[in-house]
A and B are shown apart, each in its own frame.
Chain A
Amino acid sequence: MNPILKPIIDGFLNFVPHVKALGMGFRAVGDDWAELTLPYAEHLVAYPGDDGAPGVIASGAIFSLMDSVGGMAVIAKSKRLMQQATLDLRIDYLRPARPGNTVIGRAEVIRQTRAVAFVKGIAHDGDADDPVALMTACYMFTAGAKS
């Protein structure tokens, strides 16, 4: 890993309360991409399965994963911690994640300008060729902005 990124990523995983609350973990980072994990957990389930069967991870939890990994991809591309905010984020929910499987979120910066980063990503539960969700997002750099 790029040594500049390590403390930023460690801080992200250890000190962002919502990231910790959902149990997200680090998987990999590259020049303009990042991967995070969301291990299966009972408190992430949308609704309990029938007859005690494990339920499916909530779409909202996958949204949080993809928002987080998209932000990390922007950091990977920038090589520093920029003040950034999600401008918009779209998720297509292709299929339910398999109960018990860790969901992996991968996001890549397609283009970055001074104001905006354009990011695409997928979520999968083991096989990247069989994704559970697609993500498209824009992040804006907010240094100097009012709100």
Chain B
Amino acid sequence: MNFDTLVRELMGAADEGPLSSLPYARTLGLSYRREAEGIMIIMPFAKQLIGSPRRLHGGTVAGLLEVASIAQLVHVLGHEETAPGVKPINVTVDYLRSAACETTYAAALVTRMGRRIANVRAEAWQGDRDAPVAAAHMNVLLVRE
């Protein structure tokens, strides 16, 4: 994901809004909201997110978790010019419950910020934040000029 584009989105004037400059995020219909703990990403239900009857496709929830992870990482890194670029190395998604056809939310925590690698954990939930539908962890390469 392009660091600068996302930073401009996230650190722009508004505390919330659509991720409309990122085509795949727009395909999923994602928007962000700045919260006390960081960035929350929201994926309202849309028909094209369906994977099997009455359920979201697992790939949509994974995409949501990836964007939430990168967004939180960018948020923690700040927007100084010296902030590194970010490149996903891998992601593991655990599916915990079936995701119903309703709005899904995700938020992430940077579990370790190294010099070259960041480890990020994310959860996605629907009605009840304490009953996540999926969880992810990502290793992300930090590219320093």
**With contacts A63-B59, A67-B58 known, is A93 near B23, CB below 8 A?**
no
- In whole angstroms, how far apart are the Cα atoms of A42 and B52 in the complex? 25
A60 touches B67 (CB 8 A): yes
- Interface size on B, as a range, is 35 or more
**Which segment, of A2-10, A26-34, A81-89, A110-118, faces chain B?**
A81-89
Q: How far is the CB of B122 from chain A (nearest CB, A)?
A: 12
In the complex, per-residue mask of A41-68: 1 if CB is within 8 Å of any chain B CB, else 0: 0111111100000010111110111011
> Across the two chains, which residue of chain B brings its CB closest to A60?
B63
For the complex, is A21 an interface residue (Cβ under 8 Å from B)?
yes
List of A residues within 8 angstroms of B67 by Cβ:
60
B26 touches A43 (CB 8 A): yes
Query: Number of A residues whose C-beta is below 8 Å from B?
Result: 35
B89 touches A88 (CB 8 A): no
B59 touches A90 (CB 8 A): no
In the complex, per-residue mask of B46-70: 1 if CB is within 8 Å of any chain A CB, else 0: 0111111000111110110011000
Write the residues of chain B forming the contact surface with A, with a CB cutoff of 8 angstroms.
Answer: 1-2, 5-6, 21-28, 47-52, 56-60, 62-63, 66-67, 87-95, 97-98
